[in-house]
Every structure is written in C-alpha cells, then in structure tokens.
Structure 1
Amino acid sequence: MFVLGHQPREPLTMKGGTTFTFVTDGIHAAFEQARAAAGDRRISIAGGAATVNQYLTAGLIDELRLHVVPVTLGHGDRLFDGVPPLRLEQVSARQASLVTHLTYRVHH
C-alpha cells in the first residue's frame, strides 16, 4: 500500500504482512512505486475526491468506480472539480439498499 502524504514517515508493517509506504513526492511517484510492486497485476487507487481528481487530471485512471451513498455532508472536495473534460463509458451500475455502485471506463 502506498499512501500519499506531506510528512515523511517510516514504512508501517501491520500484523498479517501489509506494509504501508508513505510517499511524499506526489502522485506520479506513488503510481510508479505501486506499478513496480504490482508487476503484471492491476493496481487500484483509493482516496477522496482530491486524490481521484489529481489522478484523473494526470490521465492515470482507466476505470473509475464510484460508491454513491445518499448522505449530505455539507462541505468537502467535489469530484471532477478542476478535471479536464473526460469521456466516461458506463460499464455497470448496481444498487444495494444503502449504496449505488457505478463503474465507468475512462477514455483519454
């Protein structure tokens, strides 16, 4: 796991073996480290709107999964704020009792 942050920290290894590596030199560095660690496997980027917006703007997301919950928070970062126009192709939509899961393919 590669975690974006502003303060340098030593890696943290959890019981079970998962290691959190803290990356302070930006999204591209975190992406490259994740890509190297994954080898031929896919990587996932998780985070809030600010993180997702940065990766969308950089063209580093191929598939976007949104989990929409009908809760109004009152403030926060907006998804797609400052992101250049994208073409999103809906791949799937699945509704559960308290959440709707949406998946889009991102065409750059």
Structure 2
Amino acid sequence: MLTHRPRPTLVREGGITFTFVTGGIHSALDQAKAVPGDRNVDIAGGAETVRQYLREGLVDELQLHVVPALLGAGLRPLRGAECRTEGPGVRWVVETPLATHLNYRFVR
C-alpha cells in the first residue's frame, strides 16, 4: 500500500499480506510486480493515487466504482490522463442500486 506514514507489514487471515510503501509510486509498483510474477498487479487508491499512475502511463485498465455520496467538491481522477494516452475508452458499465461500476481501457 502506498502511504506517507511508515507501518509494519500486516498479515491478514487467509495469508493476505499488506506491505506499506513510502518510496513513491514507482517503488510500490516495482515491489508489487516482484510478488505475483507474471500475474496482473492491481492498484487501489484514491483519486490522487490514480492520477499519479495515469500521468506516468502505468495504467492499462481502470475500474472505477462510483457511489453517490456527498463528500465535498471531490477530485477528478481522470484529469490529466490524456497526457500519456490517446484517451480512455469505456469498455463496460454495470449499474446497481448502490453504485455504478465503469471499466476503462487506455490506448497507448
């Protein structure tokens, strides 16, 4: 997990391990890629985390879960995404009573 505050590794029931990384997005991604081998790496985070990875051209696919709630002005996670892509394209949308789920594919 990308964070500003150092924390010890957390091992959860079932063998899920959370490693807290303070060295920035590249360090976090390199560490994540080293674990699964040839499997996909998922990045979870807020709008600013998404923006950082998008600006660096490190995202191939984005699943965005939109939940209607009043949280102030909010942040635009896709702002600036066009700087490293030809533009996101929506692949699919699933609407539920509690949220709307969108899947974007980024074309390089």
TM-score above 0.5: yes
| Equivalent position SS for 1:92 | strand
Name the residue aligned to 2:105: 105
After TM superposition, give the deviation of residue 14 of structure 1 in Å.
1.8
**Residue 37 of structure 1 is aligned with which of 14, 35, 38?**
35
Q: 1:76 to 1:70 in 2, by over 3 A?
A: closer
Gaps of 5+ in 1: none
Instruction: Compare the two structures and name the one with the higher strand fraction.
Output: 1
Name the residue aligned to 1:27: 25
Pairwise CA RMSD of aligned residues? 1.5
Correspondence 1:93 to 2:96: no
**Residue 2 of structure 2 is aligned with which of 4, 7, 10?**
4
TM-score norm. by structure 2 comes to 0.87
After TM superposition, give the deviation of residue 55 of structure 1 in Å.
0.6
More moved, 5-14 vs 31-40: 5-14
* Contact 2:66–2:100 (CA under 8 A) maintained in structure 1: yes
After TM superposition, give the deviation of residue 104 of structure 1 in Å.
0.9
Which consecutive aligned stretches of 4+ in structure 1 deviate over 6 angstroms post-superposition?
none
Q: Deviations over 1:65-90 (max 9, x none)?
A: 11112222113433234x24241111
For residues 71 and 11 of structure 1, the distance between their equivalents in structure 2, rounded to whole angstroms, comes to 32
Gaps of 5+ in 2: none
